[in-house]
Each structure stands twice: as structure tokens, then as C-alpha cells.
Amino acid sequence: MMRKYLLAGVSLVAMGMGGAAHAGDTLPPVGKTFCDPYKNYGCLDSYLGSDFLTRFINYYRLEWGKDSAPADPKAPPSRRAEWPATPQTIPPMPFSEWPYGGATSIGVTRPSSVDSPLMNALSNTKLGEAMSDSHIQVYGWINAGGNLSTNTVRGGNAPAAYDYNPNTVQLDQAVLYIERLPDTVQKDHIDWGFRVAPIYGENYRYTTAFGLWSNQLLNQNKNYGYDVPMAYGEVFIPWLADGLLVRFGRFISIPDIEAQLAPNNYMYTHSMTYTFDNYTNTGIQTTLAVNKNWMVQLGLSVGSDTMPWHLGAKIANPSPNPLFPNSTMLKDPGAIPSVTAGVRWTSDSGNDSIYVVADAWNSGTWGYNNLQWVGLTAYHKFNDQWHISFETYNLHQNNVLNANNPAAMAAYLAGGTPFSPQYMLTNAPGLAQCSNAAVWSCTASVQTYLAYLNYKPTSLDNISYRIEYYDDKEGQRTGTKTAYFETGIGWQHWFSPQIEIRPEFTYYKSLNANAFNGNANFGIAPNKNFALVGSADIIIHF
């Protein structure tokens, strides 16, 4: 989801940048005159300076203490006039539109609309001018954080996330976006776009797809790794209803309040609801704006978190079992054509939205993250200070190998599945702890409920309270057959639209068994049924 800013003319506060004082103004002089880009956008270049480094630094200084960038009075409208009102602003929220996936937001997106120090630093160079003429932009962020936890084992914070390792400071993610946004406001021509978004850091473990550099996680369990969770093209066709957007490539799976990309979240840590469902899809996703209130989606992908070329990956089957007969070769059963469908309603006021989705739906056979996801997200804005976000889903996989059956486990350990230790040394798809020990497999399912209550005390501050119930009925997602209760509170403070911090405290409780302070990759059983984690991070956009 792109970073969008609602630009408004606001006066610049004192920033300690030097220069002579001036009645009613705190900006430094440019030459012999005072230049305030917030009041006179035409003098932005003269304020920033001419060379790249000076412009880059001055853009941070310009926005320090502000909740938006200077507004260009010549910029075309960034929203269709008849569209529901924008419900939120960035800052202090992580989004301006109620989130939905698989598409650049229809009716509210113009090309080159991201507020970025890097692009502003490049804007007076030949490269920057060429990129601007082509509506191509490059920007990103660096995100680092740390935590103090009652857990001590490496990886012992799990199933809490994304602070996998307790009592440590880490590089969560360094992300670069290279993109062109399609113009979805206009309705007179076909437009196109693309995004390539490489990521490096600890958070790669939450985007990995089987078959794309996945040995970093599935065979080595590296603390830091790289991935490209988004690499897609888009075509916007405005003449079908109120606009059809077609996305093709690899992209973030379409449901959920949260996202893997740090700036798109209320809090530093993630709910278990988001941690253990679908990460990315690779395929084609269509999004049709039927009118200003209704949107429908239909897509076709290769399961979830599996690459198309992985369809042909095969290994010999040394140990026959009922799930994978000896007459076949082993491959990931989840790498099959899958259908995604969604429908979204937004009220005329823009204060309410309900989004219902079935994601990556197929036969549901046990595979690498072959999760049959069906659920909804809902949003309600009470007023300019308060809003609530709610999510619930049920997901399942069929024919998941039974960890409680000795014969099934013997076949598993002998290499009788694509996910046996001989082929996937760490972080393999979980086994089910079936109630009936006599069966080789069973259906593993999860039911979850998640809510965020959000309060905006100022234009640069958001306080979020999170509460969650997560029931891992067969223990296939978290590794422990138990239900969980989780609650936490976080503060999102923006020093400017480019720099934010997110301190928080979160409490986790496993209700039926110990689930914390263990690590299955090292053979360490969990020995705690609770975790208290204090954490914080910083996001620096560039």
C-alpha cells in the first residue's frame, strides 16, 4: 500500500536552522528575501538549495514538526469529487484510505504523489526530471527496533511477531520502492503502473515464498535475509463501471488490517492474526469499482507464498505413506491454481467500510502456507479523533500430517513428505496435533478475532489499543495446540511525515498449554504460558 499524504498549507514552526529573525516568520532567509514554501510553493527549490545532499537534508528540516508537505496549488485534484470523504490522514495514521489489497486505490491516486526526500533531492537533476516526466519515483525507509521480554531463548518471543528474538536490537527492514502509480482519478484514458520493492532485514521471514530465495529461511533460518515481496505491473481501465484495475505479478495478499511493510501498521509488533496467515500471492488480481460505494475483486494465483516455477519442483519419495503414495513424486501440493474473491462496501460519509474476502481458495490440501482464508475487516470512524478497526477470519488446511500418529511421524522423518527435515531443515510447514491419534492426517483450522481502538490526540500522534483472541485448534500455525489472548497499547509519534517512533507494551497468554520461550528449530520446548514484551522502533523514510 503506497504512502499517500493529504497536503495542506500549514505554517512552519521554529526549527533552529539559523538565519535572521523576521516578524511573524521563523524561516531562514534565502538570499535577501524570506521564502516560505508552505505559503509560496513556487519558492520550494530556492529554499531546498541546488545540490543533491543539501536538498535531501533541507527537506527533512523543512518538514520537521509538520504533518504534511508543502501543497502545490497547480497539482490536479487527488480525489474524485463524488468519492466518499477521506477517512484518515498520514500522519498520524498508517493509511488515509481504509485498507484493501491487490490494487492501487481507485479514484484517489495520481502519479508521482508520494512525499519523498529522495525524489525532492533528485527533482532538479536530469535524472529526476526524466523520472518526473515518466511519473516514476524511487523512495523507501529504514526500520530498526528492539525489545525487552520475559522470554530468553532465541526465537522465544514467537508466536509473537515481528520481534522474533527477545531482548535484542535489530534491523527490521530496509525497503526500496521503485514504482509508477497509475492515474485512477481520471476516467478518460487507460493508464499503467508497476512496483518493485526489495526488502532486507529480520522481517524477510514474514514474506518468504517457497521457491524464491527461500533456502535462507527454510534451510538456514538466517536472522537477516532478503526478498522481493512486491514485483508487479498494473493496468487501469477507466471505462468499465467506475474503473477496473488489473494487477499481475507478486503482491501482498489482499486481506487484513496490517501489512508486512512497517509504515502501514498502527504498532511496531503485529497481531498473531496477521503473523500466521497468507503473506503474498503470485498471479493476477482484478479490482472493479462498481460505483463509489461498492468494489468487487477476483483473482487467480499459484496458492499463496509459492512461486509459479515451484509447480514442477519434485523429489524422490523414499517412504510411502497415505498422503504421498510411492507411485508419485513429491512436490508441494499447495502450488496449484487458486481463486481469490472479495467485495468491499464504503459508506457515503467514508466513515464505515466492510471488506469480505476468500483468499487463495483451492482444494486446501496440506502445502506450504496453502491456507484457505475467509474473513472480513471492518472500520468505523466515530469522529476525527477516534476510530476502530476489526478483523475476523477462519483458515484451514486439509490432510495435514498428524504429529500424534507414530507411523505418520516415522514416514515424515524418513523423508516421506516435501516438508520432511531432509528437504526443509527449519521453519517447515507445521504438523497437526490431531485429536484422534489413529489417523494419519486431519483438517487443521484457526479462528481469530482482532480489534484496534485508535485515538488521535494531535495531528502527529496516534495511540492504539490492540486486543486479540487467536485459537490455533490443532496447533498447525503456532506449533502449540492452544488458544491465545493478547492485548497491548502503542504510541505512534511522528516528528514529521518522514520520521516516526512507535513504543509499546504487549501481553500474551496461551490459555491451554505453554507456548512461549521455546524454539522448535533447536528442539527447545516452550516453558511459559505468558509473555510480556516492551518494544519500540523508529522508521526513517527517504
Instruction: Give the pLDDT of the chain (542 residues) as one tens digit per residue.
Output: 333 322 222 222 222 333 333 333 444 444 445 688 998 998 999 899 999 999 999 999 999 999 999 988 888 899 999 999 999 999 999 999 999 999 999 999 999 888 899 999 999 999 999 999 999 999 999 999 999 999 999 999 999 999 999 999 999 999 999 999 999 999 999 999 999 999 999 999 999 999 999 999 999 999 999 999 999 999 999 999 999 999 999 999 998 999 999 999 999 999 999 999 999 999 999 999 999 999 999 999 999 999 988 765 565 565 666 777 665 656 888 899 999 999 999 999 999 999 999 999 999 999 999 999 999 999 999 999 999 999 999 999 999 999 999 999 998 998 888 899 988 999 999 999 999 999 999 999 999 999 999 999 999 999 999 999 999 999 999 999 999 999 999 999 999 999 999 999 999 999 999 999 999 999 999 999 999 999 999 999 99
Task: 344-348: list long-range contacts, CB under 8 Å, 24+ apart.
Answer: 344/100, 344/294, 344/295, 344/296, 344/297, 345/293, 345/294, 345/295, 346/84, 346/98, 346/292, 346/293, 346/295, 347/84, 347/293, 348/84, 348/292, 348/293
Q: Is residue 38 part of a domain?
A: no
Q: Is residue 495 part of a domain?
A: yes
How many separate domains does the chain show? Answer: 1
> Rounded distance, CA 306 to CA 249, Å?
12
Q: Is residue 4 part of a domain?
A: no
Tell me the residue ranges of DSSP E strands in 65-218: 136-149, 168-180, 191-201
**CATH number of the domain bearing residue 428:** 2.40.160.10
Taking the model in full, what pTM does it have?
0.91
> Rounded distance, CA 476 to CA 20, Å?
65
Cell of 393: 477470519
pLDDT of res. 323: 74
> Rounded distance, CA 166 to CA 534, Å?
10
Q: Is residue 7 part of a domain?
A: no
Cell of 191: 493508464
CA 211 to mean position of chain CA atoms: 21
Q: Is residue 30 part of a domain?
A: no
> Rounded distance, CA 524 to CA 33, Å?
68
> Rounded distance, CA 229 to CA 1, Å?
12
- Please give the residue range of the domain that contains residue 94: 76-536
The 3-class secondary structure across 371-439, one letter per residue, is CEEEEEEEEEECCCCEEEEEEEEEEEEEEEEECCCHHHHHHHHCCCCCCCCCCCCCCCCCCECCCCCCC
97 Cβ partners below 8 Å, 6+ apart?
4, 86, 87, 88, 105, 108
CA-closest candidate to residue 462, choices 274, 261, 268, 273 = 268
pLDDT of res. 328: 60
Q: Is residue 15 part of a domain?
A: no
Number of Cβ atoms within 10 Å of the Cβ of 194: 18
Q: Is residue 61 part of a domain?
A: no
pLDDT of res. 415: 86
Burial class (CB in 10 A: 0-12, 13-18, 19+), 503: middle
Query: With contact defined as beta carbons under 8 Å apart, do 193 and 209 qualify?
Result: no
150 Cβ partners below 8 Å, 6+ apart?
166, 516, 517, 528, 530, 531, 532, 533
Cell of 385: 479523533
Q: Is residue 437 part of a domain?
A: yes
CA atoms lying within 13 Å on the CB side of residue 282: 23
> Dihedrals φ, ψ of 106, to 5°?
-80, 135
CA 280 to mean position of chain CA atoms: 10
> Rounded distance, CA 398 to CA 329, Å?
20
CA-closest candidate to residue 505, choices 94, 159, 160, 205 = 160
